Structure 1
């Protein structure tokens, strides 16, 4: 990426500004928005003067402030959380013969659990750790885990333990540094494109079920026009609430059925209830064999964190102004908080398998807001949705859910991917990532293309020549062999039977 040279006066001014930011407190450097020419200038200044503290208290109004823009990622994150945890709980419930009531109660339980960890980590002691969300790519694997005899607590505890090892060794940030712009841009393009298509298909499938297919077309067309107008007026951070409002109102006005069903209430807060022989999961506590069965799946889950986390961090880097590195998402801190949240959530009886919270961090980056303030609001919204109940019905209604994910997550990922592949020799790597991800999945595409790119077979040859042997081929080759072996064991390679199953027979 080329940079324009600056004169000595400008460089000195930046150095003075950086020194002042370090020496003075956020509270002293804060200025009211009325002193800035535009709202964007105010928000960018807020990002530049923040001084997040690791493992020390970060307090509202002393270290950060709440702004209206924080409500947008909080709302999008809460919608995403309800949907994703519901999907994981339902995917587990079906093969285990558990009822819809189990799914609903466990989702409410997870909303309360996650609120505690959001406030503790992202809002208080690790303000550059993104919220611990839900591992969406694991959902297709869950029926395989259950069929193999996998226990959800054993699965969650192993993910937490392996994640802690990766975070403490700083392996996540190392893998991020070894991933070029072309590889990362290709990942963003693939995830954005696949996600957008899947949500459009889901909306049309819902409309066909109620025999009103035209509603899906009208809702998506209205969303496209709204997004274009918001882009024109530079108010794209309003896309999630306005799209949800227009999508929901349009569908309801056209006759789509909707009613509130989930009454206010509290889930069972006793972990022994959830891990009882005849209550909750009805599985009891895991055995040693339970841990052995889920080990390959847990390795795969944690290995898939790096490309996921990297995409979220890069999106921040693209959206934030200069001199904001200290408030950007820290990959190792995010892995640490996600691992701790996963460990305790599994012990308590939750169904969530965690990863970086994309439905929160992407809208937050667009709105140019740091992590902590929106994190506190997200925790509050999760508690309200879990106890009140009715917002959960609205969040999972397809016209609201689909447009929220499209404009809040997947279209921005597409834009970020295109932005990253505009300059330099990045298009080759981006194309190979998309190709390889289509063959298997994004984790396979990322590991294979990172290896080819770092070897200098594709992409920027100059970058490859500057890498050490460890960075050039040893680490990328190890990751590719590890991931491919695990995928072969659990049957994720197309056309190849699961090696684990053959070994058992």
Structure 2
């Protein structure tokens, strides 16, 4: 599988493209009126961009804003509020911290993430996806807290390990070693599990207010809307229209809703967040704090590769040809995520970082590059954090659930089915789903990658072309490390933890 790690900005070093006043993009740009359709214009924009890696990328010189950029920005902001809230609440609950702490920390994270979005994805690393929230890590957080894990120690180790993986280009290496069958199966699993979980969550909310019929009506109407948008080739409008439909219909049917979060600004002092009697009320971490969270940090970073790979592949499927330069760079995304994680943890944020799926998936569908929508996402995050009221709307179940379903999980299902449609991919895809259901996606991905590269399943011709390093050494090491870490902390079903205290 090819990847975008060859994007190194060298094209900018020769000719007029290196001039600070012009670029290949600004010379090749044409107004949308010069094209027969909006799709042709957007595809041309992707094909003429020349991102400048580790050098300034400026609006209108290197990319433009289009109204389609507002869609992934809106979806990404909704996803950020929801996911950071879930992370903060999961960590705060066992520590005895209330909703006020969670709300304040979410606001804090929205301000922090806006700075890193502008610096990296909008300015110096335009092919680095936004540093989002590590959703698959949420089920592990109660175990981390129960073991005595300190959130700063946990975040710092994730950032350090992620940076080491990025500078060694381990992320792109693992992407190259993952076949279409393995990646497609992973997308199918994540898409199906995510869709069903959101449907169950919406029904649980509706039953809790004795209006179970609202969930059925909202989902049924969302299905019809999504089908119509697909028919009209306007699927990138699915998130805002589905949010409007879900929220509006639920409210009209009598579901209770009110705005509670007033405008405000969070405390920006790290000393407040890491005080012994303020913020987390934990003080600074000790050496023992880092030892406790070490295996979980290894596992968290190991789970980055399949997550990042899925997002990159979705771009490859959605973008037209000759757009490799603007596709997400896995190693650069890891650099951005690692920097954001380390600084955010020191500052006192509750977020644990990964590639921002609720942004990149809608952006790929809308055929938009990363930078312009990234800047709008930063703006929306600041507005949501300070204004407060949009946070109430974003976490209301009829809005939240349908946004995640149509904006992330259904597209993942579609991409997975697209990748497993041709060739000898179905065996590998089935094993990924099977083994992921047994343990988790990280285990399923690493095991199936090993079996696939060995030639035991999938395309035998592909396996025969691989070197020993690619066939079994690297996949074997990855599977061995992941399985060992899971065994140490008790994540293998039916087997007790090897380390005491877990």
Task: Report the TM-score range of the alignment, normalised by the length of the smaller protein.
Answer: over 0.9
1:359 aligned to 2:352?
Answer: no
Aligned residue in 2 for 1:27 = 26
1:84 aligned to 2:83?
Answer: yes
1:385 aligned to 2:415?
Answer: no
Deviations 1:468-500 (A, max 9, x none): 000000000100010001011111110111111
Q: What are the equivalent positions in structure 2 for 1:5-84 lying under 5 Å apart?
A: 25-84=24-83
Deviations 1:91-134 (A, max 9, x none): 01110000110000000000000000000000000000000000
Q: Distance in 2 between matches of 1:370 and 1:123?
A: 10
Q: Secondary structure at the match of 1:499?
A: coil
1:413 aligned to 2:412?
Answer: yes
Q: Distance in 2 between matches of 1:498 and 1:201?
A: 30
Q: Please, what is the CA RMSD of the aligned residues?
A: 1.3
1:425 aligned to 2:394?
Answer: no
Q: Distance in 1 between matches of 2:412 and 2:129?
A: 17
Q: Distance in 1 between matches of 2:257 and 2:491?
A: 38
Deviation at 1:25, TM superposition (A): 1.5
Q: Distance in 2 between matches of 1:497 and 1:72?
A: 45
Deviation at 1:20, TM superposition (A): 11
Deviation at 1:22, TM superposition (A): 7.5
Aligned residue in 2 for 1:320 = 319
Q: What runs of 5+ residues in structure 2 fail to find an aligned partner?
A: 2-13
Deviation at 1:21, TM superposition (A): 11
Aligned residue in 2 for 1:170 = 169
Q: Distance in 1 between matches of 2:467 and 2:275?
A: 52
Q: Secondary structure at the match of 1:95?
A: coil
Deviations 1:41-66 (A, max 9, x none): 00000000000001100000110000
Aligned residue in 1 for 2:10 = none
Please give the TM-score of this superposition, normalised by the length of structure 2.
0.96
Q: Secondary structure at the match of 2:130?
A: coil
Aligned residue in 1 for 2:254 = 255
User: Is the CA contact 1:21–1:49 (under 8 Å) kept in the aligned structure 2?
Assistant: no
Please give the TM-score of this superposition, normalised by the length of structure 1.
0.95
Q: Distance in 2 between matches of 1:499 and 1:493?
A: 11
Deviation at 1:501, TM superposition (A): 2.0
Deviations 1:338-381 (A, max 9, x none): 00000000000000000000000000000000000000000000
User: Is the CA contact 1:132–1:357 (under 8 Å) kept in the aligned structure 2?
Assistant: yes
Q: Distance in 2 between matches of 1:337 and 1:415?
A: 28
Q: Distance in 2 between matches of 1:496 and 1:258?
A: 44
Q: Distance in 2 between matches of 1:313 and 1:416?
A: 11
Q: What runs of 5+ residues in structure 1 fail to find an aligned partner?
A: 2-18
User: Is the CA contact 1:275–1:284 (under 8 Å) kept in the aligned structure 2?
Assistant: yes
Q: Distance in 2 between matches of 1:121 and 1:70?
A: 17
Q: Distance in 1 between matches of 2:375 and 2:500?
A: 45
Aligned residue in 1 for 2:268 = 269
Runs of 4+ in structure 1 off by over 3 angstroms are 19-24
Q: How many residues align?
A: 486
1:470 aligned to 2:469?
Answer: yes
